[in-house]
Structure 1
Amino acid sequence: MEPPEDLSFATLCTDRLELRPLREEHGEGLWQAVVASQGDLYRWMPWARPPQREGTLAMAAAAADEWYRRSTLSFVVLHLGVVSGIVALKLFRPLQKSVEIGYHLRSDLKGRGLMTEAVGAVVRYAFEEEGLHRIELQAAVGNEGSIRVAEKNGFTRVGIARLADPSPEGGWRDLIVFDLLESEWQSD
């Protein structure tokens, strides 16, 4: 069975953004977003040390198959028609109806609420279309932008994953663990 060619059913729109399932044709734009944000990404994302163009393009090329296998649902974030970031639902746990969410946005677009808006749209999709029960979000201690996105979307701090993330300076750092339950989201 082949992966579906048309994933347009999962296109999400907000007031300022369009989120589409990541496809191979988004690879170069995503790479440009990574390059434009290298300093910020390097501090918080282990895969960005150093960023690899081939890895970014390969991720985009594999995205449709990952949708089909339900392993990762990656949405490319388009702002004014330009690839500006990504939001991904990953680490699906079907029995628990649970998933982890991760994201990044071009550094030059930070502080405008765009990632809060994008994550909100994907959270809605996860609960309404995927029928999930729980979404987990992890942010490195000190990553105030990511922490704000979590809090503004109603996620609750539930603990610390101790020394769970490699630090760019060497060694390990703590992650703040957040979650959002579908029942809490519905009451918002």
Structure 2
Amino acid sequence: MPYTAPEVLSPGTLSGTPQPVLATGDGLVLRPWRAEDVPALYAAYQDPLMHQWQLMSCDSEAEAAGWIEGWHKDWETETRGQWAVFRPDSDQLLGRVALHAIVLADGLAKIGYWTTAAARGQGIAARATAALSRWALDEIGFHRLELLHATANEASCRVAEKAGFALEGVKRSAAIHQDGWHDMHVHARLTGD
């Protein structure tokens, strides 16, 4: 069934080129995940604080390797893009930033992030989120990026604000975590914001 409105982005917009390496302009690099990142990815998910807000656990390096393989396939199918965050002169993983729930025809995606325990409190999530957002909106042509987080996650709310995502409202009882149902803040950034 054809759309009555034009597609914002066409199939192949992402998968037609290799997933890019992105610089934040202030000392961080976002790059596609590599096989050698498996130990660091696994270690990041052993942090208890990660499980407070992330809904997945990683039980082995083999599982982490499977995630990375899957993320490469997600790029090819244009459903998700996942980047590891590093400083250019270091091989220490600082975090992850991602586009997910991508709907090319509508020019819409959600953005997610986390930082490792050693990187928290340094503005890394906000800087990486802002860089990925600029690329997605300004270079690729997405129209809207959404960012959702539990209302109880005040640090994530600060990240969203620093990255230029306006708070739009609250989705009541919209996500289940280990401790039960959470209301979720909805933030968004549009082309031209």
Give the structure-2-normalised TM-score. 0.83
Q: Kindly provide the CA deviation profile for residues 137-177 of structure 1, in whole angstroms up to 9, marking residues without a partner as x.
A: 001111111111100111111111111111212x3111111
Correspondence for 1:43 among 52, 76, 100:
52
Q: What residue is the counterpart of 1:65 in the other structure?
A: 73
Kept after mapping to 2: 8 A contact 1:72/1:88: yes
Q: What residue is the counterpart of 1:32 in the other structure?
A: 43
Kept after mapping to 2: 8 A contact 1:24/1:63: no
2:140 and 2:73 map into 1 onto residues whose CA distance is 17
Change (3 A) 1:175 1:132: same
Kept after mapping to 1: 8 A contact 2:108/2:142: yes
Q: Give the secondary structure class of the aligned counterpart of 1:95.
A: helix
Gaps spanning 5+ residues in structure 2: where? 1-14
Gaps spanning 5+ residues in structure 1: where? none
* More deviation, 134-143/23-32: 23-32
Runs of 4+ in structure 1 off by over 4 angstroms are none
Kept after mapping to 2: 8 A contact 1:92/1:98: yes
Kept after mapping to 2: 8 A contact 1:33/1:84: no
Code of the aligned partner of 2:188: D
Q: What residue is the counterpart of 1:21 in the other structure?
A: 32
Q: What residue is the counterpart of 1:52 in the other structure?
A: 59
Q: CA RMSD in A?
A: 1.8
Give the structure-1-normalised TM-score. 0.85
Q: How many residue pairs get matched?
A: 174
1:166 and 1:66 map into 2 onto residues whose CA distance is 24
Bigger helix fraction: 1
Q: Kindly provide the CA deviation profile for residues 70-110 of structure 1, in whole angstroms up to 9, marking residues without a partner as x.
A: 11010111133212211010101122101000010002211
Code of the aligned partner of 1:52: D
Kept after mapping to 1: 8 A contact 2:149/2:185: yes
1:24 CA drift (Å): 3.2
2:101 paired with 1:84:
no
